[in-house]
Chains A and B, each alone.
Chain A
């Protein structure tokens, strides 16, 4: 039979844990709101850029930009994996790293080398544990990465791509689908595919006669890198929203589990107490009846 004092101690410990996890849940909720607002604030920019790109490529006709060409003879690609800096967010990092490793294995089967840029401590530690090489480790981005922080990453990526060092660039992150669903995905950022632009074009049939300055081609030269930067930035903001949701859900589950446990422990404690009283009574009754 469980010791009563142990049960009380244990219940106290669980109560403390519940207090902590509930606070963490509240913090995650607040952070999620902030991150969500930031992610929505970046949408208009990206959308407008895509719209402009569609308008431009229509005006410029057949486009042949270095960022859209896929070099065939290069056996190397790059990957930016966005993991979190802190743990306690349920399956967030596990899911992300699983899809990352899967992607790396697929690439390897095709004899493609992949240079990994790992963002976030959790991913870095996991890759160290697996003894997988990382080209770059980034840990200085907080909960609110500024566009200026992401810009160098994107620029370095495009630089390597244009120089022909890599044939493609991927980003692995947890996509925010809805508050109930987040999905680890690996998307290709480079080379830019023209199909996406065409899909946009079909939607907007009314074509506008723009006055271009400078020529559409030169504008496109500037616009395409901006699109890449914006897309990468969007990935980062998305990842942070997903992380906060994952943490919120994990902490809610922990709080609920702690509550169940407290209930169970209370029940066990009461039972143990009752048993002890009954035993004592039986002792007294037994003793007095033996005297008679």
Chain B
């Protein structure tokens, strides 16, 4: 029996299922750096960071922007739960630039505000970068 080299990958946001496909490899931004998943990976539960995830389908690669959330691998199924996910072509560069300016102007009064600002800035930066390099 030929061993399967693909596994299921789905990306779900509260509003819709963004992606549902068979893939050979996925790289996603974990909270502490990028993390790659291949077939038969052991069970994993991991927090996501902000960045681009790349999904390999045959010879083409699909890129998606994810903004925090969780990743779960179980029985050759990767599920990405994120509150915001966009395809590069869906990103509005101007809006992202606007949010970047706003985010930079945010007050850093306490720790929470500081992390919120960090997040907003990074999210906007990654979006702009992704939209430009698509």
Residues on A lying within 8 angstroms of B by beta carbon are 38, 41-42, 44-46, 48-49, 52, 55-56, 146-148, 151, 208-214, 216, 218-219, 222-223, 226, 229-230, 233
Contact = CB atoms under 8 A, between A and B. Distances in A.
A48 B12 contact: yes
Interface in B40-89: 42-47, 68-70, 72, 74, 79, 81, 83-84
A44 B79 CA distance: 11
B125 interface: no
Given A52-B45, A55-B45, A230-B14, A213 B32 contact: yes
Interface of B, secondary structure class, is: strand
B15 A147 contact: yes
Interface in B1-50: 12-17, 30-32, 42-47
Given A52-B45, A211-B43, A213-B47, A41 B17 contact: yes
Contacts of B42: 209, 211
B14 A42 contact: yes
A48 B81 contact: yes
Contacts of B83: 147, 151, 226, 229
Contacts of A213: 30-32, 44-47
Nearest to B112: A159
A52 B43 contact: no
B29 to A, nearest CB: 13
B74 A219 contact: no
Interface residues of B, number: 24
22 contacts: A38-B16, A41-B16, A42-B14, A44-B17, A45-B12, A45-B13, A45-B14, A48-B79, A48-B81, A49-B81, A146-B15, A147-B15, A211-B42, A211-B46, A213-B47, A219-B47, A219-B70, A222-B47, A222-B70, A223-B70, A226-B70, A226-B83
Contacts of A49: 81
B45 A210 contact: yes
Contacts, number: 77
Given A44-B17, A223-B70, A212 B45 contact: yes
B100 to A, nearest CB: 17
A243 to B, nearest CB: 18
A219 B71 CA distance: 11
Nearest to B45: A210
A277 to B, nearest CB: 66
Interface of B: 12-17, 30-32, 42-47, 68-70, 72, 74, 79, 81, 83-84
A233 B14 contact: yes
A56 B15 contact: no
Contacts of A226: 69-70, 81, 83
A148 B16 CA distance: 13
A216 B44 CA distance: 11
B12 A208 contact: no
Contacts of B15: 38, 41-42, 146-147
Given A147-B15, A211-B42, 10 more contacts: A41-B15, A45-B12, A148-B84, A210-B74, A211-B43, A212-B45, A213-B44, A214-B32, A219-B45, A233-B14
A56 B45 CA distance: 9
B70 to A, nearest CB: 6
